[in-house]
Amino acid sequence: MLHAHTFPFRRQVTLGLAFVSALAACASSGSCVRADDELKTLIPLWKAHETEVSTAYLKYKRMRYSGLFPLSSADLDKLLAGVCPEDSSEPAMRKLAKGLLVKPNEVPQPWTECESWFEGTKVKEREGGGAGFTQVYDGKREIVYDPRNKQVNLMSPGASRQYLPPLSSFRSVPPADDLYRVQGRSGGRIDVFREGKPGKLDVSLATDASSGIVRRRTFRDKSGKVVKEIWQDGLITYPGGVVFPSRVADANYNASGGLTFIIITILEEARFNFDLPADTFSVGTTGGVTLFDQRDSKKTYTQRVVDPVSDVVQLVGTTKAEGRLPWLKSAWWVAPILVAGAALLLFFRARRTRKSRPA
């Protein structure tokens, strides 16, 4: 029993001596910074990042791939490092595509040109500029307009199968309320770790010390295998002091550590905290469009839009939570007419029956 208690005591003494020795070395070098002080610097920056942008406009190119070479985390890091994060030129984009795709020649243009607007929870993304494929969440409903097949779909929040990138996908910010510990500091980088709960992923953060932007966010399972990574490179400070990465790469890996899916976004233009036009989150269409209102889970309402409109929502109005659908509201007078018509039909049918009876 004496031996069982002696080993933990000796281990504690050893760890204590090592800690004292480390403090002495830090003090003698004059470069010792407490981990608590590092976190006291980073966490307020993360909180500020969550609230500093009220409105935004972003123009960017997006690469969204499966059918990839099974690159490891180190391989992908090397590929990304070989292309300037601010470079969205065709040669740079094709270099990335060639390094990622098993069959790059089968994709004529392996990126999509997009622009997005943000205000609070509202989001609008349009592809290709002008009247390209458009997705909107206007705070009440989701709207998807595909001019190629001349269709507009209105859905309840969260019902669309299309991915609508939120502002956080262009600058990932760690939850400020999680528990972190600092693992080290190298130059202008602070390495932070968050241990996941049982069954959850551990997260390592390579953070820019001055701005608080996470340059690399790595998710690992409990065995240490990399499951997901987010790179954020090419930091630019915009008017008002808002710092955003020029390039974001969001990668997923399989159980063997091979790359399976990636989204790369390269920012070309950005504006923050300005007044957006009142019709920013409206969706206008050309004529000859079919509108499918799928907000009622029991029934889809279909409407043919003959002429161009500036806001499709004006044609259909609101759901039960907001009020009755306008075609139901405006057609309240139809019911009495139908009842009267049915009564007349029955009257004339009964009269004809009486006349046809033999005397």
Tell me the per-residue pLDDT of 205-258, one tens digit each, with 9 for 90 and over. Answer: 999 999 999 999 999 999 999 999 999 999 999 999 999 999 999 999 999 999
- Whether residue 137 is predicted with pLDDT greater than 60 in this model: the reply is yes
Q: HSE-up of 143 (CA within 13 Å, CB side)?
A: 28
- Whether residue 353 is predicted with pLDDT greater than 70 in this model: the reply is no
Spell 297-323 as b/e; 16+ CB within 10 A means b. eeeeeeeebeeebeebbebbbebeeee
Using alpha carbons only, give the angle 74, 80, 84 rounded to the nearest 5 degrees: 150
At 77, list the tokens: 């890091």
291's CB contacts (< 8 A; 6+ apart) are 151, 152, 154, 302, 303, 304, 305, 312, 315, 316
CA distance linking residue 246 with residue 269, whole number of Å: 9
Sign of the dihedral defined by the CA atoms of residues 160, 162, 167, 171, in that order = positive
Provide the 8-state DSSP code for 245.
E
Q: Among 249, 194, 245, 192, which residue's Cα sits nearest to residue 49? A: 245
Q: Among 122, 80, 78, 72, which residue's Cα sits nearest to residue 97? A: 80
CA distance linking residue 104 with residue 68, whole number of Å: 9
- For residue 358, what pLDDT is reported? 58
pLDDT band at 27 (very low <50, low <70, confident <90, very high): very low
At 326, list the tokens: 């306008």
Provide the 8-state DSSP code for 68.
B
pLDDT band at 135 (very low <50, low <70, confident <90, very high): very high
- Whether residue 190 is predicted with pLDDT greater than 60 in this model: the reply is yes
Provide the 8-state DSSP code for 169.
G
Q: What is the mean pLDDT of residues 30-46?
A: 74
The predicted model scores a pTM of 0.78
Q: How confident is the prediction for the chain on average, in pLDDT?
A: 85
Provide the 8-state DSSP code for 108.
S
Highest mean pLDDT: which range of 118-122, 129-133, 294-298, 316-320:
118-122
